[in-house]
Structure 1
């Protein structure tokens, strides 16, 4: 019996695909939770969702997508398609961040974001993750999982302290953008150390 798994036989819990799909599940639960709440609870759930999406998408952009580009068939195009979707999600988050979470405009915009996130996750799982699982080197998929975990642990999970209102965020720059920047910096540091 081989000491190392062959492609398609990675230890599931150490595999980056399993980890990312697990993150997708958490995001799906948070997407439902936001609209089930109101007031402060909705604001906090949205902030939690926003931060998790930011860290998740940034780790994919910096760690997983580069590997997928050269590992899966048509990787360049598949990653380009996901990056377009991710850019749309970022813009939607920036817009939502400035709205009153209890306003009808927020609810409508959030529902659109929810549909986009669900479609993006489904496309990613079918077109990028499944081929990665099939074609990726097990040791490399495990190393990517370690990098994603390390980056998520180091990436800032909170917007700028003291900026709780839309007005403050406009004056200081959107918190979403700041979190993306800090997450990307932390993740790039991890990638450089690999």
Structure 2
């Protein structure tokens, strides 16, 4: 099962908010999965969406917020720190057996951190970008974010949280990630 594409005519902010909602839903579906196979499938989808979503934000949204917001450097630096910590936790989870109690506990901790992070983005970054940018810019950014997601790594890479780092490492690790995904994709 491929990662669910979110199709709409929404601008970049609405698009990212829709993805935040899908991430919340996937955390719940992963936690509530009845069988290890179902949990593995849901986690595969969650991991993939988190990886491409964060890469696109790091390449497109955060640099724009850094330039446009009065306190852009502080806001973005805090989000990048949160993203780095989430990538480390997601990498650890990716190596674990999904049927263990430890996986479930670490998944719950990651969920709390990611949802807290999403709340900060929504209230501190997205809200201000919506007031600072006109509708045409927000619409154009949506297209660029979608393109960035199509070429983004599908696994977490802690330490690659800046736009230059993503641009440099991204294409190479994206190819490797997609090969790994094809080989290790959960069967259902």
Q: TM-score range by the shorter chain?
A: 0.7 to 0.9
Asked if the contact 2:90–2:156 (Cα under 8 Å) also holds between the matched residues in 1, the reply is yes
- Where does residue 32 of structure 2 map in the other structure? 36
Give the 5 Å matches for 1:115-194: 115-155=112-152, 157=154, 176-177=156-157, 184-185=170-171
Aligned-residue Cα RMSD (Å) equals 2.2
Structure 1 unmatched runs, 5+: 1-11, 158-174, 187-194
| Cα distance in 2 for residues equivalent to 1:96 and 1:185 | 23
Contact preservation (8 Å) 1:14, 1:142 = yes
CA distance in 2, matches of 1:156, 1:53: 10
Instruction: State whether residues 11 and 138 of structure 2, in contact with CA within 8 Å, keep that contact through their aligned partners in structure 1.
Output: yes
Tell me the TM-score normalized by structure 2. 0.77
**Cα deviations across residues 31-76 of structure 1 (Å, max 9, x unaligned)?**
1000111311101110110000000000000011000001112001
Equivalent residue of 2:96, what SS?
A: coil
Query: For residue 91 of structure 1, what is the aligned residue in structure 2?
Result: 88
Distance between the aligned counterparts of 2:62 and 2:147, measured in 1?
Answer: 17
> Runs of 4+ in structure 1 displaced over 4 angstroms?
180-183
* Equivalence for 2:50: 53
Distance 2:92 2:148 in 1: 26
Alignment partners' CA distance in 1, 2:82 and 2:157: 17
Verify the 8 A CA contact 1:19 1:145 in the aligned structure 2.
yes
CA deviation string 1:116-151 (max 9, x = no partner)? 011010111000000000111322211110001122
The alignment covers a number of residue pairs equal to: 157
CA contact (8 A) 2:151 2:171 kept: no
Aligned position for 2:14:
18
Select 2:74's aligned residue among 51, 73, 77.
77
